[in-house]
């Protein structure tokens, strides 16, 4: 728990990030969780996944941009992603973070950037998933999602099971027929807003999974936790939920054998494929989830 807190604390330190990212050895290590630096790397990874009947969601790494220009540039990169997915016939959609689209600068700038992306995705018959960031952004993120969802049905959202508020948020989203990716939550949160014990988050995850599987929309259950996977399979079996009514999602580079196994057993599986040079906070959150990964780094070094 202490190590996790340290890693999540460091994930937000820009100066520390700049020093780490200068070393090519760390860049190479990040490739355990990141497809590469360019869109071509992401396309290549998606093709490999697609060959095994696994779908993908592209993520261009980057968050908390500070200028309008950076936010617009980030939005333009997502237009490139959608065009490349279409051109290379990848079975993939895209996931994005609102702080990468200018949420810290102005919610209206962010909304117009994301709307441009969702509109292009709509033209290409594709889908955009809005990732959920720390709890400082939950209200703003849900607000932007709801505004977009009223106009477009090809946009979905992420809900984090560690937040106390999530059941209520899910109820609101289901009322507007929104599509949800349920995950546990990856940020450092105080006990005033989030469960601190794994057991409590897990119980809430299972409760919320049941709500999603019994809903009429198509939702995603994002976890590598075998207990959560089994609970999902049990809920589906008990309630006769067909395999094609929902999908599992996992992150690139984590539990690859289990990803394949679930697909071979007839379940839908989508992999989150991040790429880009801004890998540092993403990489640190992955280490925070499983500090044992630090041993992998030490072994590498
Ligand atoms: C597709 C996808 C999208 C996500 N989007 C978001 C988002 O928008 N917002 C957000 O806050 N979080 C997001 N997350 C991260 C999520 O919140 C969790 O932090 C992460 O998935 C770890 O939780 P877990 O359910 O896998 O279980 P945990 O309880 O963390 O882990 C259970 C077991 O899974 C395996 N495992 C978990 N993580 C790792 C790892 N890094 N390396 C190796 N093995 C591991 C280990 O065997 C571990 O014992 C996303 C996760 C996925 C899979």
Mean pLDDT, 10 residues at a time, the chain of 301 residues: 76 73 73 92 98 98 93 98 98 98 97 98 98 98 98 98 98 98 96 97 98 98 98 98 98 96 98 92 83 69 60
Q: Binding residue per annotation — 70?
A: no
First-to-last CA distance in the chain? 24
Q: What is the pLDDT of residue 211?
A: 98
Query: From 3.20.20.220, 1.10.760.10, 3.30.450.190, 1.10.1370.40, which CATH number describes the 34-278 domain?
Result: 3.20.20.220
DSSP per position, 15-72 = HHHHHHHT-HHHHHHHTTT---SSHHHHHHHHHHHHHTT-EEEEEE------SHHHHH
Q: In the structure, which protein residues have their CB atom closer than 6 angstroms to any atom of ligand 1?
A: 131-132, 158, 160, 183-187, 198, 222-225, 228, 249-251, 254, 272, 286, 289-290, 293
pLDDT the model gives residue 82: 98
Identify whether the C-beta of residue 241 lies closer than 8 Å to the C-beta of residue 235. Answer: yes
Ligand 1 centre to CA of 290 (Å) is: 9
Is 22 a known ligand-binding residue? no
Closest atom of ligand 1 relative to the 185 alpha carbon? 17
Per-domain boundaries in the chain: 34-278
Query: How many angstroms is it from 224 CA to the middle of ligand 1?
Result: 6
In this prediction, residue 56 carries a pLDDT of 98
Dihedral of alpha carbons 222, 167, 207, 177, sign: negative
């Amino acid at each position: 728990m202490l190590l996790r807190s340290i890693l999540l604390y460091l994930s937000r330190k820009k100066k520390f990030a700049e020093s780490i990212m200068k070393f090519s050895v760390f860049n190479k290590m990040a490739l355990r969780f990141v497809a590469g630096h360019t869109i071509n790397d992401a396309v290549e990874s998606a093709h490999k996944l697609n060959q095994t009947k696994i779908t993908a969601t592209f993520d261009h790494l980057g968050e908390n941009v500070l200028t309008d220009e950076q936010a617009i540039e980030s939005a333009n990169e997502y237009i490139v992603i959608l065009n490349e997915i279409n051109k290379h016939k990848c079975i993939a959609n895209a996931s994005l973070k609102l702080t990468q689209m200018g949420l810290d600068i102005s919610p209206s700038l962010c909304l117009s950037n994301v709307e441009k992306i969702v509109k292009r995705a709509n033209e290409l018959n594709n889908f955009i998933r809005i990732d959920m960031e720390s709890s400082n952004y939950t209200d703003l993120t849900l607000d932007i999602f709801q505004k977009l969802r009223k106009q477009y049905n090809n946009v979905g959202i992420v809900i984090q099971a560690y937040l106390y508020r999530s059941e209520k948020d899910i109820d609101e989203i289901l009322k507007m027929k929104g599509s949800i990716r349920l995950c546990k939550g990856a940020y450092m949160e105080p006990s005033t807003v989030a469960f601190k014990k794994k057991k409590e988050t897990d119980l809430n995850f299972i409760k919320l999974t049941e709500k999603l599987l019994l809903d009429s929309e198509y939702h995603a259950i994002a976890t590598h936790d075998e207990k959560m996977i089994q609970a999902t399979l049990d809920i589906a079996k008990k309630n006769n939920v067909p395999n094609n009514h929902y999908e599992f999602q996992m992150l690139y580079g984590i539990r690859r054998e289990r990803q394949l196994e679930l697909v071979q057993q007839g379940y839908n599986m989508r992999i989150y494929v991040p790429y880009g040079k801004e890998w540092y906070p993403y990489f640190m959150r992955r280490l925070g989830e499983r500090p044992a990964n630090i041993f992998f780094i030490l072994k590498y070094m």
